[in-house]
């Protein structure tokens, strides 16, 4: 008997977990390609003659601009067309754009290449989230999203470790001559090394991942599949506006803290403790891999545990728990004078800051109709990345440049910006739990009413 024909309790979900693993690897590649920039802040600033604010635009706005806005049209395709094909094209696109970052000769060239990375990566998560919701029952979704989200932290850790290794390997080499390209610096070669292997992964997805059948489709009165336009998505969001306002804003501020720490901690440890980029890369790579990796898995497990105990707002509740846990260490890790004490506090902050990766996704997928899931996810990614990536990294740079006027004060900027964001996150998500429960009850009632209306 095939796995598909077995009762729910006896299914192994081997192929489904394979798809999750492949998508997780794609997420690893995506975070290596987006995060590698953070570790190489000093040589890039030197060679391209950039300020902290300009670098924050490369690290935040350039990537997030079209990553955020392209998510919606790509999600529209993902709700109607082959999701594996969309993912494979996206992987190939961002891999080439990452390699092109290594050919940058100035700010504008690098800015455009980073936009390309964002466009390609916009294809991955909405399509993957939508596929997972069609492959797993609700009591396994938290773990599926948790394992997938683990890729972001493996990728973040790999970016720090690989970047640190390559920088150390090439520290005595000023330039390297490459065929067809000419002479490039060590940081430029690093972009080429991490970018091009993604083309092989794009081919793997295209050849081995099949699009699952769609579950939970809305139907018309005559039994046909209801077509969903973008205006229907906006109408759905408006009908649950309090829920999505709390969710989108709360988890977006969560993203501001998490992504901001990923972007600025290398600069903080290099400036405050005199670490080399290689030392910072190895230490932060270990923190991200262990703390964030365990945090995202624990967050997924916590969601499933709360759901089994009857909490319909399990995903939102897990977000509140994580936000409360990260607030104090987020403020404190830059304010202690001992390196190891700072790293311990950073690890605690990173552990709890990882909870929203599965939590924000699970909440959206559980509440949203099938034909809208990728689009609702894309709306969230639009807002969360504009706030988390563009605003989060820029605010720290602006406080450092404009308020303190001293790049060594980046630690105080981190404490101020991310401490305030953490407190507001707790308040928004706590309030959102009540609205989420109400929205879920409304959708359940509407579904029951549709089932009792006779066709025709």
Would you state the pLDDT for residue 452? Answer: 60
Read off the pLDDT of each residue in 195-214 and give the average, rounded to a whole number: 91
254 membership: H or E segment, kind and range:
helix 241-273
Cα gap 280→59, rounded to integer Å? 18
Convert the pLDDT of each residue in 62-93 to its tens digit: 887 777 788 778 877 887 788 999 999 999 99
Cα gap 386→32, rounded to integer Å? 20
Tokens found for residue 393 = 């990294």
Question: In this model, does residue 9 exceed pLDDT 60?
Answer: no
Read off the pLDDT of each residue in 243-261 and give the average, rounded to a whole number: 90
Q: Provide the 3-class DSSP secondary structure of residue 102.
A: coil
CATH architecture of structural domain 3-452: Up-down Bundle (1.20)
Question: In this model, does residue 224 exceed pLDDT 70?
Answer: no
Cα gap 123→93, rounded to integer Å? 10
Mean pLDDT check: name the lowest of 47-61, 282-296, 361-375.
Answer: 361-375
Would you state the pLDDT for residue 1? Answer: 44
Average pLDDT of the residues of the chain? 84
Tokens found for residue 318 = 């897990």
Strand partners, 371: none
Would you state the pLDDT for residue 455? Answer: 47
Would you state the pLDDT for residue 401? Answer: 84
Would you state the pLDDT for residue 226? Answer: 58
Would you state the pLDDT for residue 414? Answer: 92
Would you state the pLDDT for residue 447? Answer: 67
Question: Regarding predicted confidence, which is higher, 375 or 135?
Answer: 135
Task: Report percent pLDDT > 90 for the chain.
Answer: 30
Taking the domains of the chain in order of start, what are their residue ranges? 3-452
Alpha helices by DSSP H, 61-211? 62-69, 71-78, 83-101, 107-121, 124-135, 138-169, 186-195, 198-208
Distances 338 to 45, 279, 335, 343 between C-alpha atoms, Å: 27, 16, 9, 9
Question: In this model, does residue 12 exceed pLDDT 70?
Answer: no
């Amino acid at each position: 008997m095939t796995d598909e024909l077995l009762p729910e309790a006896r299914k192994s979900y081997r192929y489904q977990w394979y798809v999750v693993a492949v998508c997780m690897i794609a997420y690893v590649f995506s975070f290596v390609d987006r995060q590698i920039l953070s570790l190489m802040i000093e040589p890039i600033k030197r060679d391209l003659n950039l300020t902290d604010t300009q670098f924050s635009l490369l690290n935040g706005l350039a990537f997030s601009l079209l990553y955020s806005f392209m998510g919606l049209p790509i999600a529209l395709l993902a709700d109607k067309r082959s999701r594996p094909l969309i993912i494979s094209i996206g992987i190939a696109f961002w891999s080439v754009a990452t390699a092109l970052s290594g050919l940058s000769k100035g700010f504008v060239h690098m800015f455009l290449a980073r936009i390309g990375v964002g466009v390609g990566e916009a294809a991955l998560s909405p399509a993957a989230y939508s596929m997972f919701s069609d492959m797993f029952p609700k009591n396994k979704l938290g773990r599926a999203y948790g394992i997938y989200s683990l890729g972001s932290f493996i990728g973040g850790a790999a970016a720090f470790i690989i970047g640190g290794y390559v920088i150390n390997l090439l520290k005595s080499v000023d330039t390297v001559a490459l065929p067809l390209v000419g002479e490039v610096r060590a940081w430029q070669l690093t972009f080429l090394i991490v970018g091009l292997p993604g083309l092989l992964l794009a081919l793997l997805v295209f050849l081995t991942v099949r699009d699952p059948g769609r579950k939970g489709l809305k139907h018309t009165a005559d039994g046909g599949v209801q077509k969903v336009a973008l205006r229907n998505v906006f109408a759905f969001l408006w009908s649950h506006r309090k829920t999505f306002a709390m969710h989108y804003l709360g988890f977006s501020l969560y993203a501001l803290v998490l992504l901001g720490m990923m972007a600025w901690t290398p600069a903080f440890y290099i400036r405050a403790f005199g670490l080399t980029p290689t030392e910072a890369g190895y230490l932060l790579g270990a923190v991200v891999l262990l703390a964030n990796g365990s945090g995202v898995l624990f967050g997924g497990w916590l969601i499933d545990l709360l759901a089994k105990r009857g909490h319909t707002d399990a995903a939102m509740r897990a977000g509140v728990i994580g936000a409360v846990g990260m607030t104090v260490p987020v403020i404190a890790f830059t304010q202690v004078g001992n390196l190891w004490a700072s790293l311990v506090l950073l690890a605690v902050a990173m552990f709890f800051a990882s909870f929203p990766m599965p939590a924000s996704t699970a909440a959206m997928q559980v509440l949203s109709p099938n034909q809208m899931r990728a689009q609702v996810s894309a709306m969230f990614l639009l807002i969360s990345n504009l706030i988390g990536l563009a605003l989060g990294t820029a605010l720290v740079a602006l406080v450092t440049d404009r308020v303190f006027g001293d790049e060594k004060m980046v630690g105080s900027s981190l404490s101020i910006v991310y401490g305030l964001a953490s407190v507001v996150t707790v308040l928004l998500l706590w309030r959102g739990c009540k609205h989420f429960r109400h929205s879920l009850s409304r959708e359940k009632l509407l579904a029951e009413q549709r089932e009792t209306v006779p066709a025709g």
